[in-house]
């Protein structure tokens, strides 16, 4: 489950739950928190998550909101805002591990790059899904004013797609300064 909790702008929380005999009802007393990150604003918080054909969990984070990504978060690899993270949650005895094929899996602890990051440069990847036949990912991403996006990335290519936000809105320059 991907949800926002807390006061102020809140925090993104990714959790796993056990279900009752009705698989549509989560047992709230069984929550295991997997990942938490503070939100700088109350909009563009992403919210989608999905398992890829590779068995890993993909989680979309928006740039955190406000107009034009004022903090440049979607191009900042030291935090997950404006990114899709990719984690392995298959071991119930640990929150998650980093897949060895993540683009930044081998960064050192002193690095400013999160090894969870799989893709960056997104404004608000509010919906994404994997093609059932090919495993390719299709991402619905919000634009600023003029262009919305549907982004594509081929299955098995873990070379860190950067979809360009806030420098570009779709294929059009938005804020290329810095």
Which of the four pLDDT bands, split at 50, 70 and 90, describes residue 33?
A: very high
- 71-83 tens-digit pLDDT: 999 999 999 999 9
- Retrieve residue 147's tokens: 């262009």
Which of the four pLDDT bands, split at 50, 70 and 90, describes residue 120?
A: very high
Measure the N-to-C terminal CA separation of the chain; round to a whole number of Å: 35
Peptide bond into 166 cis (omega under 30): yes
Which of the four pLDDT bands, split at 50, 70 and 90, describes residue 145?
A: confident
Q: What is the 3-state secondary structure (H, E, C) of the chain?
A: CEEEECCCCCEEEEEECCECCCCCCECHHHCEEEEEEECCCCCCCCCCEEECCCCCEEEECCCCCCCCCCCCHHHCCCCCCCCEEEEECCCCCCCCECCCCCCCCCCCCCCCCCCCEEEECCCCEEEEEECCCCCCEEEEECCCCCCCEEEEECCCCCCCCECCCCCEECCEECCCCC
Query: Residue 109 pLDDT > 80, yes or no?
Result: no
Give the bridge partners for 26, in sequence order. 19
Q: What's residue 74's pLDDT? A: 97
């Amino acid at each position: 489950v991907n949800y926002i909790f807390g006061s102020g702008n809140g925090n993104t929380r990714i959790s796993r739950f056990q279900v009752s005999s009705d698989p549509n009802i989560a047992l709230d007393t069984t929550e295991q928190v997997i990942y938490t990150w503070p939100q700088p604003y109350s909009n563009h918080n992403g919210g989608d998550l999905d398992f890829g054909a590779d068995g890993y969990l993909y989680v979309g984070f928006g740039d955190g909101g406000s107009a034009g990504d004022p903090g440049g978060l979607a191009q900042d690899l030291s935090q997950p805002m404006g990114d899709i993270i990719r984690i392995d949650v298959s071991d119930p005895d640990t929150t998650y591990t980093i897949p060895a094929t993540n683009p930044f899996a081998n960064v050192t602890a002193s690095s400013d790059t999160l090894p969870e990051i799989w893709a960056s440069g997104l404004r608000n990847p509010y919906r994404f899904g994997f093609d059932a036949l090919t495993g390719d990912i299709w991402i619905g991403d919000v634009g600023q004013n003029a262009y919305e996006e549907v982004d594509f990335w081929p299955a098995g290519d873990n070379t860190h797609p950067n979809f360009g936000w806030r420098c570009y809105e779709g294929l059009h320059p938005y804020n290329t300064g810095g």
